[in-house]
């Protein structure tokens, strides 16, 4: 079993025009920045990207937007990206906004073999339009379908060559659920180690969900909102 790729360029081989991708991360925290850079370089286009956010203008998925490589975006919050808003309002970019919890659960369901589920989120709003409504325990719920992707691209702190992953801090976010939902899942890690070096008790994503893994060449880890308190 050889899952290890030399670099991001080798890891994204097979991603072609019009494919659907899932990309982990919340804001710029825990995004697969090496793979995003490789996708920009590859020039692949017409992508459908499923990600909680759309990056900022000059980092994260914003780089693919600037390059017009994304045809459709499925996300929950896109407020940090002016280019995104421009492309959406002008109709260049197709956008499907989904409640954040439904987005996470739809990915999880996609990876867990559950085709759809009922949730109260969004009932009575425009996102419920055209969706089946059913009452459980006296409360209306809407039917949401599972999501899967041709490729899921996630970022972890540490991984081993079998694809077992450990995340750090709130960089975990959507990465574990998206790792489950890719037909092929690519993991970029800060530190790639040999089997046995990670404690099995602390694995967040078991290696069965990961098909390709590599150690990222560099992680900028840009901070979106640097907030601090004074020492005095």
Partner 1 sequence: MLDRNQIAQRIAQEVKNGWYVNLGIGIPTLIANYVPEGISVEFQSENGILGMGPFPFEGEEDADLINAGKQTITARPGAAIFDSAISFAMIRGQHINLTVLGAMEVSQNGDIANWKIPGKLVKGMGGAMDLVASAENIIVAMMHTNRKGDSKILKQCTLPLTGVGCVKKVVTNMAVLEVLGDGFRLLERAPGVSVAEIREATAARLVIEGEVPEIAF
CB 87 within 8 A of CB 78: no
Among 127, 184, 193, 203, binds partner 1 (CB under 8 A): 127
Nearer to partner 1, 43 or 229 (CB): 229
203 binds partner 1 (CB under 8 A): no
Which alpha helices (H) appear in 79-191, and where do they start and end? 82-89, 100-112, 175-181
Nearest distance from residue 109's CB to partner 1, in Å? Answer: 9
Nearer to partner 1, 28 or 37 (CB): 28
End-to-end Cα distance, the chain: 55
Nearer to partner 1, 1 or 134 (CB): 134
Among 41, 116, 125, 132, binds partner 1 (CB under 8 A): 125
- Burial class of residue 71, CB neighbours in 10 A (0-12, 13-18, 19+): middle
| Neighbouring C-beta atoms of residue 204, cutoff 10 Å | 16
Tell me the C-alpha distance between 141 and 51, whole Å: 24
83 binds partner 1 (CB under 8 A): no
229 binds partner 1 (CB under 8 A): yes
Nearer to partner 1, 2 or 232 (CB): 232
158 binds partner 1 (CB under 8 A): no
168 binds partner 1 (CB under 8 A): yes
Phi-psi region of 205 (alpha: psi -120 to 50; beta: other; left: phi over 0): beta
Give 158's contacts (C-beta < 8 A, 6+ positions apart).
165, 166, 189, 190, 191, 192, 193, 198
100 binds partner 1 (CB under 8 A): yes
What does the binding site for partner 1 look like in residue numbers (CB under 8 A)?
Answer: 26-30, 52, 75-80, 85, 88-89, 95, 97, 99-105, 107-108, 119-127, 157, 168-177, 204, 221-231
């Amino acid at each position: 079993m050889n899952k290890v790729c030399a670099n991001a360029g080798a890891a994204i081989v097979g991603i072609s025009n019009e494919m659907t991708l899932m990309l982990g991360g919340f804001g710029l925290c825990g995004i697969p920045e090496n793979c995003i850079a490789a996708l920009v370089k590859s020039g692949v286009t017409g992508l459908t990207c499923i990600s909680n956010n759309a990056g900022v203008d000059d980092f994260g998925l914003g780089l693919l937007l600037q390059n017009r490589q994304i045809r459709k975006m499925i996300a929950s919050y896109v407020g940090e990206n002016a280019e995104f808003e421009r492309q959406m309002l002008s109709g260049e970019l197709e956008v499907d906004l989904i409640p954040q919890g439904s987005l996470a659960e739809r990915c999880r369901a996609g990876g867990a073999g559950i085709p759809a589920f009922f949730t109260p989120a969004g009932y009575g709003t425009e996102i419920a339009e055209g969706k089946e409504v059913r009452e459980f325990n006296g409360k209306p719920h809407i039917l949401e379908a599972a999501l899967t992707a041709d490729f899921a691209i996630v970022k972890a702190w540490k991984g081993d060559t079998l694809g077992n992953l450990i995340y750090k801090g709130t960089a975990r976010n959507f990465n574990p659920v998206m790792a489950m939902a890719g037909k092929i899942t690519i993991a970029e890690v800060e530190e790639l180690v040999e089997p046995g070096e990670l404690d099995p008790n602390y694995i967040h994503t078991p290696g069965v969900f990961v098909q390709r893994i590599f150690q990222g060449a560099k992680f900028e880890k840009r901070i979106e909102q640097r907030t601090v308190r004074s020492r005095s």
